[in-house]
Amino acid sequence: MLCDVFNIEELREHQDHAGKNILRGMSTIYNLPTGGGKTFAFWYALFYHWDTKSDALISALAVNSERDKMEDIFENTPGEDDCLKHQVVFVSPETALLNSFHEQVLRNKTFRNNCNDFRTEYGQPGKLLVRLPSGLPVLFASATMPEEVIKDILFKVGLIPECERVAVSNAKYNVVLSIRVLQHPTTTYADLFSLFPTGENEGFPQTIIYMNSRTEVKQIQDFLHRHQPSHMPEDVFEFYHWNITKTRKEYIQKGLQSGKL
């Protein structure tokens, strides 16, 4: 059923493993590279008892809304006992620490904490477990989870070091890490000249440049456009950020695959 809803051929072994661990009541550390499909492991338990698509509804409730608004949803939904049996809340760590969230928490079954960056205070949602039934299995997932991070997570949420783990290697054998000491002020972007071809008709090596802000990325794109050799196409440098349209994202992905960008 899960594969049908999300239009995928089948679950991968690690997704199935992590999902079944939750059904078995086993808290699990799930270490999987970005884009590997961690989300399916969170949905797994919710789909386990589904018989038909029409018999169930996944409702994402606004946990910081007023109580009467939430009760209106229940009262105005035909067959609410069945339709609202499965509930999912996608919540930021900040929201998870609010008293209003704690007041509603027992209405929900599965929790996934999404955060934009790694900050110390993001360990605090571990306190939420105190308000949940004891023995509730928890699934922790991240693309970056070295041993010291795992130990910190287990300590903060009060789980044993022998907690079940499902891990998939982050190894990328076709990617090489190269570190260069900057020779010029970072605001000039002059060190990017090392990426430009030295031969008359050589191409620009396919490169993905990450920065901390969209402003910096746009400045780099403008810098590359100003200094690119005359034989290179105008549209070889593409500005990519999270807020671009789906059509543009697909265009960029195809451009990277073909080598155009």
Q: Domains in the chain and their CATH numbers?
A: 2-167 (3.40.50.300), 186-258 (no CATH)
Burial 157-171 (b: 16+ CB within 10 A, else e): bebeeebbebebeee
Q: What is the pLDDT of residue 158?
A: 77
Q: What is the pLDDT of residue 59?
A: 35
Q: What is the pLDDT of residue 122?
A: 54
Phi, psi dihedrals of residue 140, rounded to the nearest 5°? -105, 125
Q: What is the pTM of this model?
A: 0.48
Which stretches of the chain are DSSP H helices?
A: 2-6, 13-23, 38-47, 67-75, 80-83, 93-96, 99-104, 147-157, 214-227, 246-258
Q: What is the pLDDT of residue 86?
A: 44
Q: Share the mean pLDDT of the chain.
A: 72
Running DSSP on this structure, what letter comes out for residue 203? P
* pLDDT tens digits for range 220-261: 888 888 888 777 777 788 887 777 788 888 888 888 888 777
More confident residue, 149 or 105: 149
Q: What is the pLDDT of residue 69?
A: 45
Give the Cα separation of 253 and 261 in Å (integer): 9
More confident residue, 115 or 234: 234
* pLDDT tens digits for range 184-200: 988 898 888 888 877 76
More confident residue, 15 or 128: 15
> How many beta carbons lie within 10 A of that of residue 173, not counting itself?
6
The answer on pLDDT for 54 being more than 70 is no
The answer on pLDDT for 50 being more than 70 is no
Helix axis angle, 13-23 to 38-47, nearest 10°:
40
